[in-house]
Structure 1
């Protein structure tokens, strides 16, 4: 009996030892994989088509992330439904660090505030904020409009004759113009496109009369700015007046950052956050974005997550008060 008891005790010890060995092996393998990250190409989903601010900023970020952490980063444009298609694809992706996404105010905050998209900001892990810039109303060089007051005056005298383009229904570009029209007691006709590039093509082709986007787009396509949706003028374009100066206290800022499907391992979040900070604060990144008037604006993971939460709550309330829906 003593022998049997000793055998059972030894067997239990061997089982516990084997379990510890397996657990240690799993932990070691996981740690090695995370330390080696990224071993495979990393895809950054951009929820808009190529050519717009989001696409341009994502490509600049990817370039400097490669230098900061190594590995190959690939941009994958998934436009449509105001960015919601790309966001849903990101939500469904595996949370292993090999599929990331560019967060933009429209797809992450505005679309879920207007309709059921199948996701909210809470379905993503926030890694870092990278840029923030106010919207600017712009026209072709040969436009008859000289400033934002001209646009509002035309819309007031000619109901629904002013045509304006956006990169999608329910984007900040859409909401900003609707806020302006409402405050000016005017109306305009909204023409949505799938991307900023298509929107600019529509503007240059005289399909629409005005558009609003960032200074990045204005410089990229040599468009003439009329006004800024802000309470302060930009240093790069001090001659361009703000909506506040025109008597319309509207602020509309496009921001972006890096996110991932919910559940990304903390070690990978930390590695990406560190690489992001290094990339955004690098002289190379600053040199690339300076000509586009989209200055670096780094937020760490915690600060970016808190910022997006606040933006979501603010704009959801605003959208409900204004009665704006994605079908408008």
Structure 2
């Protein structure tokens, strides 16, 4: 057989092999991790901690890009509109489903994304000034029924909606007092000018440890490692109640199956890196990973839960800025 004949016969096989190699050779360039929040928060820290083991596994740089604005909408939109090839990821929080209850979004919360894995879960803590009489969720409910006008400090997002969800489930009425952030709310809470707050454990922990505030309950699926003696709302009053902040890795919709599988496996491995686990422990965040299908179902359930709470709170949709 002539050389040209052999080459002609071999060409289709070579082409198929080249295509298969190209499809399997992920990543082929640096993989950017978009964090749609300002530097220094849990999502930003998680992304930067993941970047090192992912870069080592992939042999490619994993630059973290902060694209803050509109409570995460701007950066999340960057992920939604990126090429679905796995080279753009996002590290988002519970704000992803919650934002659908507050904003007219430039993307669809479910349809426009591939869900890679959950990364963390951080419970809230129901806290109050030492002078506030109730010490348990049941006592709070009884107090609110006998004393209309119990107030809660809220800073937006899940910190605003968690008390609404609690009130819905217990049949009480709570009055919302808005604040721009925890640091603005805490002085009024400590002084008793506002009655309760569902804050993140890391934000409230120092005040609880100093005795300025008391912890009535936490809101995770299990007790907080930082407040192990404080019962959860679920175990003390409302089975199944959960209102946590959390993180997850997302990518644009339409990601090829093999790429999604590799991203999932490698991101889970990165989150289980001992250095990553220990750093999150100091932040009060539990490592929680999940497969793409169960994560999609979880996000859909969060979207429904927080949407119902927002409607109960009378939240009106705004344009994302």
The structure that has the greater radius of gyration is 1
Residue of structure 2 in register with 1:262 after alignment: 253
> Normalising by the residue count of structure 1, what TM-score does the alignment of the two structures yield?
0.72
Q: In structure 2, how many angstroms separate the alpha carbons of the residues matched to 1:176 and 1:321? A: 12
Q: Report the alpha carbon displacement of residue 269 of structure 1 after superposing the two structures with TM.
A: 1.6
Q: Tell me the CA shift for residue 275 of structure 1.
A: 0.8
Q: CA deviation at 1:100?
A: 0.7
SS state at 2:289 partner: strand
CA distances 1:273-294 after superposition (whole Å, capped 9, x unpaired): 1211211223232222222232
TM-score (norm 2): 0.73
**Contact 2:79/2:89 (CA < 8 Å) preserved in 1?**
yes
1:273 is matched with 264
Aligned residue pairs total 295
How far does residue 305 in structure 1 lie from its aligned partner after superposition? 2.3
| Structure-2 separation of matches of 1:54 and 1:212 | 20
Q: Secondary structure at the match of 2:91?
A: strand
The reply to whether residue 293 of structure 1 matches residue 279 of structure 2 is no
1:91 aligns with 2:91: no
For the 8 Å contact 1:67–1:279, the answer to whether it is kept is: no
2:294 aligns with 303
1:177 is matched with which residue?
163
CA distance in 1, matches of 2:145, 2:67: 34
Unmatched 5+ stretches in structure 2: 209-213
| Separation (CA, whole Å) in 2 of partners of 1:113 and 1:24 | 52
Deviation at 1:101, TM superposition (A): 0.5
Give secondary structure in 2 for the equivalent of 1:128: strand
CA displacement 1:49-103 (0-9 Å, x = unmatched): 2233322333333333334434222222233333222222221122232221013
C-alpha displacement at 1:256, in angstroms? 1.8
Matching residue of 2:174: 186
CA distance in 2, matches of 1:128, 1:44: 14
After superposition, the CA RMSD in angstroms is 3.9
- Structure 2 CA distance for aligned equivalents of residues 156 and 46 of structure 1: 45
Tell which deviates more after alignment, 84-93 or 203-212.
203-212
The 1:236–1:92 alpha-carbon spacing in structure 2 relative to 1, beyond 3 Å, is: same
Asked whether 1:202 is paired with 2:184, we answer yes
Instruction: Give 2:48's match in structure 1, choosing from 50, 56, 59.
Output: 59
- For 2:247 and 2:130, the matched residues in 1 are separated by 30
